[in-house]
Amino acid sequence: MTIAEFQKLIEDIYYAKDSGRGMERTFMWFAEEVGELSHALRSGSREELEGEFADVAAWLATLASIAGVDLQQAVTAKYQGGCPKCGKSPCECKDG
């Protein structure tokens, strides 16, 4: 599945509910899922990690849809050429 296909799938499932909730409240749900991922990274099973990564990706995709952003296009434009700062892959930037 491509990023665009995933974003469309999440739109089909959740867009009406999430757009009705609005950007701010949907972002709060996203932030909560990031917190759950943080917890799973510290002490979770492989199954829990996979579930939390999937949840974070879904909430990110729905936020992009609400904002009118094509997530695949945005990711491709920014990262296809390597690191956005130094242009290398792997990154050779000194600052992180």
CATH superfamily of 3-79: MazG-like (1.10.287.1080)
Average pLDDT of the residues of the chain: 97
pLDDT of residue 84: 96
Name the amino acid, one letter, at 37. L
User: pTM for this structure?
Assistant: 0.92
- Give the rounded distance of the alpha carbon of 54 from its chain centre: 9
- Give me the percent of the chain exceeding a pLDDT of 90: 98
Which of 38, 42, 37 shows the shortest CA–CA distance to 54?
37
Which pLDDT band, with edges at 50, 70 and 90, does 26 fall under? very high
